[in-house]
Structure 1
Amino acid sequence: MPRPHIERIRIRGFRCIQEIEFPLTPLHALIGPNDSGKSTILEALMGAPRSNAGAPSEMTTFSNKRALTCGPPGVFEHGAQVEPNQAIRDNLASSPSPAMLALASPVRMVRLDPDAMRQPTSLIAQGNPLEYGPRGHGLAAVYDAFLSRRLDVFLEISKRFTELFPTARSIQLTNHSESTKVLGVELKDGRSVDAFRLSEGMLYWLAFAALPYLNPAPLILVEEPENGLHPSRIADVMRVLRDISNISQIIIATHSPLVVNELQPDEVTIITRTPERGTIATPLSQTKNFEQRSKVYALGELWLNYADGDLESELVADSTIPSTAG
């Protein structure tokens, strides 16, 4: 059986979104202006409790064609009923569908914050799953666990790290207290740099490098993976995310053309918003003159050259299909 993933999503009546519907791929990026609804879509995918009353507010269709609707109240196709203010996943444990069980599993949000990644963290007990928080808190504990559980992973990441950051000799873990550690780096000149002085780019890269080895999640939502990274490191992070997408579906919100350059046309959706129509979702491959433009530009450059940061009117046709608007 193919690995279940969300292949199409419809969101209705959620925050700033009236109604949108668009396809998703195992690795998918949402791009577009600020305040267009990208983060709101990620929040909807988190399966947060819905408090707004009314008709069913979301439909997600999986690769095996089983559908799921939810809203206060909502009924799943396989009989799992959701009460008002109840999270989607709370009543899915008894569902016979692997796709439903996949959605019932915890969704991982990745919104990395260098200040959170720098903080001392308690060690992960043997047998407990490897996790760090949405903002990266706990990263040092994950690397400490690699040393005892997956030395091969620690050495592999360390090797790649020193290739990408040639001033570094090795990744360090320092005892901050009897039960906490902090992440650091030893430089080739012998100096040690603790997490509080470590560059943001190094921290971001270390967090993404660890992501494939965390406790598996069927859906991973990533906000702006380009943050803090030198442009030459973005392709490396995107390779990591593409590898993960063979196991977990990855949905990205990004403002980086370099991220978009690493994707295929069907893996990118432009999110825009107008006062009259609300949030609009337009697959990049359905934008104006895409076939001709894509012969001239890489995907990221195509977006950069025709984006206006507002309505993206040179990309999104005035006749955008109504079902994609909200």
Structure 2
Amino acid sequence: MSDRGSDSRKLTIGGAVDWELAATVGAKLARPAPATTDYTRDQAVAQLAELARRAEQPVREVTGLNEGADITEARVVDRPQWVRAATGSMRVMTGGSDTPGGFLTSKLTGAQTGAVLAFISSGILGQYDPFTAGPEPDGTGGELLLVYPNVIAVERQLQVDPTDFRFWVCLHEVTHRVQFRANPWLAEHMSSSLSTLTHDAGEQVGDVVGRLAGYVRDQRKGEVADQNPGGVVGLLRAVQAEPQRQALDRLLVLGTLLEGHAEHVMDAVGPAVVPSVATIRARFDHRRQRKQPPLQRIIRALLGFEAKMNQYTRGKAFVDEVVGRVGMARFNTIWTSAQTLPLPPEIEEPQRWIDRVL
């Protein structure tokens, strides 16, 4: 166990957020769901739950990841319900407590967090939360969430077959459930990195400003390395101490792997169970790449959406290439431990991971 909490200079982000206020604000600010009849809504909720169950077996077969446990039920939610679930998960991830420190600070950050989650709530189709108490006797197992208003909105926008699209979405999200349930250490690895990232290193302001000035200077000279990209991620790394930089890199690599693996599985399973998968993939990728209004582009960049899209592309290319060269069985060595996960440069050069690990 970590003893970080014994250092009075270090405060978790979670302790500075009023999570109840974040949930309340976020739920109130969430955009209204697309207009639907009661029948359409109830049918979508029931079908998403059923398709999440059906997706589990083909995902287990394609990935070769099968922990043998029973298939757990997905929770199909609306936007405010997703916001409340997200605040609960973030509270656990960041070490938040029921008694946040600093009344005004916690209220302000709580309101800000709620506003951010409200914005995200209209775009997320689903997620697997490994930090939420699950169905196992010890409370483990996590929870799969599917946000039905967003699924309905996107399938209408893309003009695709609703059943096929819903199954396609479930394949992606169920892959995340399989990843974490077959490899329980992943949640601890993520939690440990988040713990490092969200603790104050007790540094002097001058040290942070100095690193920021160096980052700006390198940007002007074009000397920022690929593993320290520009934009929000690059700026974040620039003001961090080395332990936080390493933790951020671990999280970025893990996220890239998990998303890329899920994208690979969607395409591998899709043709057998989703008849219109080619049309869905083409239209969905076009939707991801379309131009956004300037203000929305800024907000999306600040919230890391562009980095998330990059994770899908880079991660899928990595998984596609490794699986193509060595097969899925040998690829699964990647799930052995933190030491077998790819290093940042290996995402771009999969052969380097193959040479190091296999």
Same fold by TM-score greater than 0.5: no
Instruction: Report TM bin, short chain.
Output: under 0.3
Q: Which has the higher strand share?
A: 1
Q: TM-score with structure 2 length normalisation?
A: 0.22
Q: TM-score of the superposition, structure 1-length normalised?
A: 0.23
The structure richer in helix per residue is: 2
